[in-house]
Structures are given as C-alpha cells and as structure tokens.
Copies of this chain bind each other. A is one copy, B any other.
C-alpha cells in the first residue's frame, strides 16, 4: 500500500491534549445554501431571506446552523473517525457566531480524553472540535466521542483520562448572534404565530410530515460536507457488510428532522446548542423519516425581552408516523423505528413585544 494515502488514526495514535488542525478549508456559498434547501426543504425565514434577516439586525441571511455544523464536522473525519467502530455521542455543542455565504471554515480538534476498552481491541477517543471562520473567529465548539480500533492490540496506552462532560449546556452559555434583535420579527411572513411564551415544558408535538430518502440525496449531502466516511458511499463494499447497504450520515437525519420540525416549531429560529445526540438505529435509503419533539425546558436570556431559549428533544422515526410519540422504554431501550434522539437549545422570538 502506498505510504501517501491516509490510513487514518488508530486508537494508539492519539495522545492526550494533542491538537489536530484539520484539512480542508471550505468557503461556504449561496450554492451550498441552495443545495441545503433542495436536500431538506427548510422554511425557517431568517435563513431563507436576506431581507428578513436584515430586519432583525443581521447583515444577510446566515446559513443554516446545521449546514455550518456538517461542514465543521466533516473536516474531522480523516483524522478522528476513519477507523471508528461507532460514533458514541456529542456534548457541549455551541454555535458562537453565525456563518454567512463567503465565510471560509476550518476546524481544529484537541484530544480531551482517551479510554481503552477492556478487550484491548478498541478505545474511546474524546475530542473537542472547534470551527473557525476567516482564520480566527470561533463559530462552533463541540465535543464528540467515538470508539476507534487499535492497529495493534498489544500497543500500550501511555495516559488515559475520561473528561467530565456537562449533561447539558447551561442557558447562560448560549450565544445570541451579534446584532440580532427579534423586536421587529414579522410573525406573518414567518409562517407561525407561536412564540417562546406559547411553549411549555412537557409539551409534545408531532411534526406530521414524512420524507423518504433516496441514495442520491444522502450522498450529495455528505459529499457537500466533504465528509469522507466510507460507509456512506460504497455499495460494492457495504454489500458485503452485515446490513448490506450504505449507511446514511447521521447528520443528514438531523437536518431532515429539523426541517420537518418547522411544522410545529416554526419560530425556533436558531439552533444555539446541542446538549446531546444519539443515532440509535441506522437509517437507509428508502426509509421515510418522520419526527416528533418534546419541550424539555425553557429559559430567559439575561437582559433580553425579545428572545428566549427553548430546550427541545427531537426524535426521528422511520417508516411510521410519529403520532404515537415512539420513545425509549423505562430501561432506556429504543424501538427499532426510532433513529435519532437529539437534545438541543433553540433561540425563539418572544411575542410580548408584539402585544404592546
């Protein structure tokens, strides 16, 4: 094998506190936004129309928060997860500055934890990855942990550490985009009249609509993010695998569930943080994805009467409507139909300004 191809890192290649500056920088453009719209059909107005965004104090429509996430995430694959057995989780994910067409993104990761598994064949790598725009402005900060194969079972791991991760992002840690003010939010053009005050913890919403995924769609998306994980693209190889099929990038399902959630959460204008997320079953082309959400919490934003934070749990369900809110059981086991369990904070306009 050529020494010039990338074999990826194996578990013993990672060192605690190691910093990895990832390739490939990527200028995000209006072309990416159009493709994102074509792939998922989002209708959140701040990201859809420059004029709507400008009325709220932004310089243009920012790109979808999840598009920025996917690009930042995609860059980490060649060094972090090329030899991953499983993507175990996300935590402490925060958006710190909106991304606009023309911004160039790159990603830097730091290894914050290593824990070998008792079978000595694999270990868990914890990385904090940070996405920057235009060289030095932080736009995204998150932790993920993955189970990675060892190249050599006998390799000894010098130092291990399991990082202490927060169960969820505290609302005080949420960042409101600079200049954003929802006071002049146009509720009619937004398409939904429900503001932050209208949602209550515990409330469940079936997002009603379903969308079937085609092979061409998830591959276009995943390549758009320059995500090179082999399992998404190669049917020849996957055909010899247990499932026999290409696996759909988990982020594709997150974006699809978020777009579907417009029907019921139409004013959840920004994704400000992901508290945690798990892909609990595989999604394959041909599956029809439905979604439902539950409001977990709500929080005031200090000093702001125009915006509040809503903590939402969104579950994506395959090949059955979400009418009955399929969920994990008391033992924490998920039915086969549930493919995603995502816990995030959204920024939502408050209605009170309107009432005055």
Contact = CB atoms under 8 A, between A and B. Distances in A.
Interface of A: 1-2, 4-6, 21-27, 29-35, 37-41, 43-45, 48-52, 61, 78, 101-102, 104, 106, 134-135, 188-192, 194, 198-199, 203-212, 214-217, 219-224, 226, 228, 230, 233-237, 246, 263-266, 286, 288, 319-320
Nearest to A193: B4
B2 A206 contact: yes
A25 B49 contact: yes
B38 A221 contact: yes
Contact of A25 (B52, B101, B233): B52
A233 B216 contact: no
Contacts of A1: 206
A24 B264 contact: no
B49 A236 contact: no
B190 A2 contact: no
Given A24-B191, A233-B211, A51 B216 contact: no
Contacts of A21: 188-189
29 contacts: A2-B206, A2-B264, A24-B43, A24-B45, A24-B48, A24-B189, A25-B45, A26-B48, A26-B49, A27-B49, A27-B61, A29-B30, A29-B31, A29-B101, A30-B30, A31-B35, A32-B34, A38-B223, A38-B224, A41-B223, A41-B233, A43-B228, A50-B104, A210-B237, A212-B215, A212-B233, A212-B235, A212-B236, A236-B319
A320 B239 CA distance: 12
A304 to B, nearest CB: 23
B237 A134 contact: no
A39 to B, nearest CB: 7
Given A51-B104, A135-B51, A215-B214, A23 B206 contact: no
A346 to B, nearest CB: 14
**Residue of A220, A222, A320 contacting most chain B CB atoms (<10 Å):** A220
A41 B198 CA distance: 43
Contact of A48 (B27, B78, B228): B27
A146 to B, nearest CB: 19
Contacts of A134: 51
A264 B5 contact: yes
Contacts of A210: 230, 233-234, 236-237
Given A106-B189, A233-B209, A29 B25 contact: no
A266 B78 CA distance: 13
Given A5-B263, A38-B35, A104-B50, A288 B27 contact: no
Contacts of A198: 4
